[in-house]
A and B are shown apart, each in its own frame.
Chain A
């Protein structure tokens, strides 16, 4: 059974067709890249999958369950987590709290137990604090646990955002331009990092990226979007020489 199966997804904003009849199947443990020029509808696709927007038409099934129409936190509970193109951490909260918030769905106690600090409260808080700390140790962010997330350097903010997403224990991780603003050296270490995450947390990953070096280096399969529609799909090497893709990026060849 495919992990994620999207059929005929179409999404319109005020008549503008951001995603047009998108079809996609994802097997467990794949690492797929989505590329395409600016405004091709890549981030919109992530928003549709995670429930930020509701698809105008089409169905998305995750592990056999329909997720169109579910709220973001329900979809997250099923096992989809993401990061954002323009890092969206809880900036004024500590690094630790950023991660602890992502355990919201994993903590089991009632509001009354929370208000009076009784019952399962103490045990659960202890358990979650431990889990959060372990995650921070894995990501080598533990020394910064008490620092406000917004004051971290850019690279660490990216890292924390991925840690936060992994705290929700996803089966599928969506990374929205993780290499944005990185130099070539940083991109190489990011490639290793993503591979490591995939192995350590055994997650399936979809990646939106502009950095060809990154995409070509780690993705097993690529999907190319332009004007909301898939124009090519296949192995990185195949995509590289696809005339349609070149056209989308560089414009049509002019015959003189």
Chain B
């Protein structure tokens, strides 16, 4: 029983990270109807920023986190401006391929600069508390609480502020909303900044939890986070959070009770079943076909 509880705690930690990345996918999708396949690699860049800042600037945890988030957010906005914006009226798939290209560029550029895996120094003194056979580390608590805070802030922004209303309005209709005086380019940039910034934060936290980082780490985690976004219902912020926790729980539980090599197999099979049962994700609504 306690074993299961311990695993659930691990799932909560991994799920927080997945959810943070999934949010980036979902936000960009919601506003541009475009899958930003470079997002997983921006997550990786977040981890590398964390490494650079911690090693060369010797900053402590909080400034490292903030600077990494800022750096990744700037990069995200830059990518949007340079690579995606010219394609806003092009066929949708060209934007997706561009995103794949940007992702490959980020991976290989990082690889060219740092051919070997790097090790992130310990930024927080990690203490572990034991309750019977249940152990909780301060790192776990920080990851979970921080993710939750970030998600709550995001949820507040999207649902309660004027900017959030503008974001949702643009995702609803891209031709009329600009005529209402909503600064579309600014809102899209802001969406990219927030989405990729959260991905950067996820990168930092992942780097702290699993300190060995390499340029290709973003691929698999990125795709998995994308799956979380879809499972929750892509374009839906709350769905992304739920999707993250579901995938993490399934993965951790499979690894806990079966050989860990079955993890991906079971996770992806479940995903297929779920998509067959609910083709538009848990919180997604099927778009009514207009005929």
Contacts and interface: CB of A to CB of B under 8 A. Distances in A.
Contacts of A84: 291
Contacts of B288: 13
A74 B58 CA distance: 70
Contacts, number: 6
Nearest to A13: B288
Contacts of B289: 52
Nearest to A14: B288
A211 interface: no
A94 interface: no
A52 B290 CA distance: 10
B288 to A, nearest CB: 7
Interface in A81-123: 84
B285 to A, nearest CB: 10
A169 B82 CA distance: 51
Interface in B164-212: none
A52 B289 CA distance: 9
Interface string A18-52: 00000000000000000000000001000100001
B75 to A, nearest CB: 36
A118 to B, nearest CB: 34
Interface string B259-291: 000000000000000000000000000001101
Nearest to A46: B291
Contacts of B291: 43, 47, 52, 84
Contacts of A52: 289, 291
A43 B290 CA distance: 10
A49 to B, nearest CB: 12
Interface string A229-243: 000000000000000
A43 B291 CA distance: 8
Nearest to B290: A86
Interface of B: 288-289, 291
6 contacts: A13-B288, A43-B291, A47-B291, A52-B289, A52-B291, A84-B291
